[in-house]
Amino acid sequence: MNYVSTRGGVAPIPFKEAVMMGLARDGGLLLPESFPDVRDRLAAWSKLPYGELAFEVVRLFADDIPEADLREIVRKSYAAFRPVPPAPDQAWTGPEPVPVRPAGPVHLMELFHGPTLAFKDVALQFLGNLFEYVLGESGRELNVVVATSGDTGSAAIHGLRGRKGVRVFVLHPAGRVSPVQELQMTSVLDDNVFNVALGGTFDDAQRIVKTLFSDLPFKDAHRLGAVNSINWARVLAQVVYYFYGAFRTMERTGASEVSFSVPTGNFGDVFAGYVAARMGLPVRRLVVATNENDILARFFSTGVYARGEVVPTLSPSMDIQVASNFERWLFLHAGRDAARVRAWMDGFAATGSIELPRLADGTLDPVLRPGRADTAATLETIRRFHADFGALLDPHAAVGVSAALAAPGAGEPVVCLCTAHPAKFPDAIARATGDASLATHPAVEALKGAPTRKFPLPADAKAVADFVAART
């Protein structure tokens, strides 16, 4: 399996090289040359535990890693998760890292049982082990520079802390992540971890990362690597849980297809579901669920992709106005025509807006559907699901659930992705339920009073480049 850039300027490369490249050298994003059709494997895959399913999916895209080595990388990655017993009505035995539980009209897929209580752990534990494996083969070093709106930073740190040959520089928007998210990052004092509190927004941090990666002499001299969802391996690891969530839900309900509702900021998580659908998973629709920062919902409603101002919300990991992974969808939408993608992206860079025509069925895509939940809807959804179904949702999951309930459907079961543990957002839980004590977790309690370290910097690419250079 080889990988190509959405902008057409990179010769096809194998998986390991794609992982280490991160952002394509022409400024685009890497994608496999094709997606395998796995419809004839679904019945067999549906009986597998999570780790074995992950191996079967990933091996299709990582054929330059010996299978025994890949199986061990996958095993180590999910050993870090807190095992959760399956729901009583599920047929298989043994604890699983990604449980799926019914809650009233929806099914909740809990993705927060990793080290940092966020869905990013599913991919970043895998990517950390993958980096260490590839670097061990080559004897090289890697300096990871990552932008975070909250959860990616802590998951990257916990996936890479103490790893041989790796340093990690995390840029988070100062004052725009939750206190728990900040503590999870800044309380890690390993010598290879550097937390940068950046003046500005997540979009500023993301822009700076892309600027550093686009400066090829700097990237090469300082051996930069990426763990944001611009890295294909991040998306690949997330593809797995769409298969898993669909299998568990179809097993429970007897349905032949499912839908998903995905709280979305950078479009990476929902794009992973889109890949699963392209591979043959029976997905009827993917609800692209946004908060007030609704550039993606507006696009899939109107066809206009237009940058706006970032609005701080209760779901800070979604407070994004420029979604990096949208370019991957554009590439597929354009029939893999890199020239069209370059023209669209150049137009967006110049004007802050592009417009695409609708398909014959009146949509922009037959699978992707827009959804939006503002602060009032988010709080009401948290309150209602706790009161009526005993399910405590973090504000990101609540956006997804609210959008799912508002989206027109055809009666198929809907799986809502729960992307973080509610203990990471006690203020939102308190506002919704009146009881802050509901949002607790031993891992969060252990952070209180921990020593911290961070480095304040302006939202300036040169300042960040100088900071990285001085430490590499």
Evaluate whether 293 touches 176 at the Cβ level (below 8 Å): no
Evaluate whether 356 touches 343 at the Cβ level (below 8 Å): no
Residue 3 neighbours by CB under 8 Å, 6+ apart: 12, 13, 14, 15, 17, 18, 30, 31, 32, 33, 232
Which is the catalytic residue, given 120, 210, 219, 424?
120
The closest of 462, 63, 5 to 230, measured between CA atoms, is 5
Residue 141 neighbours by CB under 8 Å, 6+ apart: 135, 165, 166, 167, 223
* Interatomic CA distance for residues 443 and 81, integer angstroms: 13
Residue 120 annotated in active site: yes
Residue 170, SS3 per DSSP: strand
The closest of 148, 204, 197 to 174, measured between CA atoms, is 197
* Interatomic CA distance for residues 251 and 254, integer angstroms: 6
The closest of 429, 417, 438 to 378, measured between CA atoms, is 429
- Distances 430 to 299, 349, 426 between C-alpha atoms, Å: 33, 40, 6
The closest of 400, 125, 451 to 262, measured between CA atoms, is 400
Residue 92, SS3 per DSSP: coil
Angle formed at CA 159 by CA 230 and CA 77, multiple of 5 degrees:
100
Enumerate the active-site residues: 120
